[in-house]
Structure 1
Amino acid sequence: MTRRAPLAPHLSGSAFRVRDTSFHGTTRSRLRASDLQRPFTAVRSVGLDLDDALGRCLAYEPLLRSGEAFSHATAAALLRLPLPRASSEVHVLAPPGTTRARGRGVVGHATSDSPPIEPHHGLPVVAPAYVWCQLANELSTYDLVALGDAIVTGPRRGEVRGPALASLGELREAAEQWGRRRGSATIAEALPRIRVGAESPKETHLRLVLVDAGLPEPVSNAPVRLAHDATVHPDLAYPERRIAFEYLGDIHRTDRRRWQEDLRRRRDLSAAGWHVVEVTADDLSWNREAFIAGVRALIGGLASA
């Protein structure tokens, strides 16, 4: 068996065009070997995680033309924003007056304006508020609200939230700039429903389900001070009624530590006199009527007590 020539150390974790011989310094036959990845036409990469959005974007970087940026679902994935479905394709936005990107595994987009571009991991990425508009034609109103909630809600560390990706004002400005393009009707419906505080799409969906059923709007992750001076943050709450909603997602089945922490929180809330309503995915879909009826009955029972 013929031994492969070793690759230069600087190629590890990189992507490059086949024609860039001054960079990779190897032969065409060596570039056909199975230890090199072939993420895109005429591109090779070494040791990148092509199952991850960042890895795919790094692999595409040698093909980026001046002014292009990662956009749509790819930008959302790079920003770790929640989408109902993952996309393995790379979405690339071309600057005005240029042709859109083409190729295997690539979705090219054209635009008549120049949206703001921000660096992320050293890559050009469309600004979060504008990404929200780009995805409006592909998402339901509930999912677009959830995406907006994630954009305007910074990560929480205890009682302190970090900076958000964008503000509500920036979303409004992006929506105005978007105008009457595709998705504008969904944008108009979703924008006034976005709130700061939701920490998962299902929390947003639950809030919208309650409001659309004619129930009061609950507060997302409101701080609740307990008797032993600890503070907990139920997913959603009616603080004046001492009702807390806790969504039980798959992470409670797969992450034992998270499950134990959430179980303690629910017990602490109950011990403090709160009514804890556990919510599952079924309650937001086929069991919705029964779930809403149960919440109404709880609120009515507390009002008459």
Structure 2
Amino acid sequence: MLPEDTLLVAREHDRHVLRRATANGDLERVRRGAYRPVGPEQNRHAAARRLATDRLRAVHRQLRARHVFSHESAALLWGAPLWRLPQRVHVLVPSSPSSRAAADIVRRRGVPDEHVVLRALPVTTLRRTVVDCALTLHPLDALVVADWALGRGMDRAAALDLWARPRRRNGTARARWVLEHADAGAESPWETWVRYLALRAGLPRPRTQLPVEVDGRRYRVDLGWAEEKVLVEFDGRVKDVDGSFGAGYDADHARFEDKVREDAITARLGVRPLRFTAKDGPDPAAATAALLRAFRPAVRGSLRVNPLLPLPGASF
């Protein structure tokens, strides 16, 4: 049996053997000319990330020209959470792409001298990856990456310096907004989603991981506006599954502790946190309206939607 991380490139093997193994269910196609052993069952998101990563490995084996993985492909290799997984592989190459290039590869001209090697693959630096994503992705997608990168130690000033260097000017205003509003306190893409809706609506910048002291205990709320007594939490389904955070994780006990925590915060501040879940994702306009209703009429009346920021698309 082949190791799980095996990648077979057609030009290096007997194509008839590969086709037969695929028909028998022993191999599966990663992209044209590349195959891998059928792996163990995984949850949908983990399986999709694995497939997207294996596509990058396949392209690296198949491309003969010098290349560096970039944009959302680089973010994937860095381990960043992504609002939507890339459907195509993004690379930087030394020369202009041919009109006969594969449809599942996005080639951009320009291989940077400064890059790193991750998982044996050449990848743009974290700072360059974040700036490239900010310039080309939907601002929510880019903000998810930038939030994560700040939490991993990326220097915001250095990223803004790279952004300011001469380059094509399309998307630069949105990119600067992403870099300036990234927040290391966001602990999940869905927390970023809620914050993005708030900022898009024109609300002041919230504080992430807002501390609340109650009877000598320190609690945190995902994000909030303390002066307005508006608190927001995102509830992920993973919290309701035993073992989600290790073998000893008890979902029922976690729910009880969460209830105690919420009651304490409510008693201290006189307001119960507003909760969102992934079920709110398909209708960001309705989620925004629910958020705004928590604010005073005077605040709501002063708000203006940021024209740079479109409504979010669907998540993966």
Contact 1:15-1:62 within 8 A present in 2 as well: no
Of 117, 125, 128, the match for 1:130: 128
User: For the residues of structure 2 that align with 1:250 and 1:205, how far apart are their CA atoms?
Assistant: 16
State the Cα deviation string for residues 80-128 of structure 1 (Å, max 9, x = none).
Answer: 434332233322222x336479765631312236163222223222223
Q: Which residue of 2 aligns with 1:29?
A: 16
Question: Which has the larger displacement, 279-288 or 127-136?
Answer: 279-288
2:142 is equivalent to residue 180 of structure 1: no
Q: Which residue of 1 aligns with 2:32?
A: 41
User: What is the CA distance between 1:172 and its match in structure 2?
Assistant: 0.9
Does structure 1 conserve the Cα–Cα contact (< 8 Å) formed by 2:134 and 2:174? Answer: yes
In the alignment, the residues of structure 2 paired with residue 97 and residue 20 of structure 1 have an alpha-carbon distance, to the nearest angstrom, of 26
- TM-score normalised by L of structure 1: 0.71
Unmatched segments (≥5 aa) in structure 2: 41-46, 245-249, 301-316
Using the TM superposition, give the Cα deviation of residue 220 of structure 1 relative to its aligned residue in structure 2, in angstroms.
Answer: 0.3
* AA aligned opposite 1:149: D
- Are 2:179 and 1:191 aligned? yes
Structure-2 residue corresponding to 1:200: 188
- Gaps of at least 5 residues in structure 1 are 1-6, 22-26, 155-163, 301-305
Answering whether residue 220 of structure 2 is matched by residue 233 of structure 1, we say: yes
Q: State how far apart, in whole Å, the 2-side matches of 1:42 and 1:143 are.
A: 30
Matched residue, 2:311: none
* Corresponding position: 1:62 with 2:54: no
After superposition, the C-alpha distances for 1:277-305 in whole angstroms (9 at most, x for unaligned) are 313337952253453133226999xxxxx
Separation of aligned partners in 2, 1:203 and 1:178: 33
Partner of 2:76: 77
Pick from 9, 34, 41: which aligns with 1:17?
9
Which of the pair has more CA radius of gyration? 1
| Residues 100 and 110 in structure 1, CA contact (< 8 A), matched pair in contact too | no
Report if the CA contact (8 A) 1:101-1:108 is conserved: no
79-88 or 246-255, which moves further after superposition? 246-255
Q: Deviations over 1:49-79 (max 9, x none)?
A: 8742323333333224464122222222233
Contact 2:56 2:89 in 1 (8 A): yes
Establish whether residue 114 from structure 1 lines up as the match of residue 112 from structure 2. yes
> Residue 41 and residue 243 in structure 1: after superposition, are their counterparts in 2 closer, same or farther (change >3 A)?
closer
Q: Note closer, same or farther for the CA distance 1:145–1:115 as it changes in structure 2 (3 Å cut).
A: farther
After superposition, the C-alpha distances for 1:24-51 in whole angstroms (9 at most, x for unaligned) are: xxx5532332233332334343356874
Alpha-carbon distance between aligned partners in 2 of 1:293 and 1:276, rounded to the nearest angstrom: 14
Measure the CA separation in 1 of the matches of 2:171 and 2:113. 16
User: Is contact 1:68–1:93 with CA below 8 Å preserved after alignment?
Assistant: yes
Measured against aligned partners, the alpha-carbon deviations of 1:173-231 in whole angstroms (never above 9, x if no partner) come to: 3312363343223213333222331223343343344455554432101333432x443
Q: Residue 74 of structure 1 aligns to a residue in which SS?
A: helix
Closer/same/farther in 2, CA of residues 106 and 285 from structure 1, 3 Å limit: same
Rounded Cα–Cα distance in structure 2 between residues aligned with 1:91 and 1:259: 41
| 1:14, distance to aligned residue in structure 2 (A) | 1.8
> RMSD of the alignment, in Å?
3.7
* Contact kept? 1:48, 1:55, Cα under 8 Å: no
The structure-2 alpha-carbon separation of the partners of 1:148 and 1:65, relative to structure 1 and needing over 3 Å to count, comes to same
Secondary structure of residue in 2 paired with 1:124: strand
CA deviation after TM superposition for structure 1 residue 239, in Å: 4.0
Separation in 2 of the partners of 1:29 and 1:143?
Answer: 41
Q: Of the candidates 256, 271, 281, which is equivalent to residue 275 of structure 1? A: 271
Identity level (%): 24
Cα distance, 1:101–1:219 mapped onto 2, change above 3 Å = farther
Report the Cα distance in structure 2 between the residues aligned to 1:231 and 1:102, rounded to whole angstroms: 59
Give the match's secondary structure for 2:73.
helix
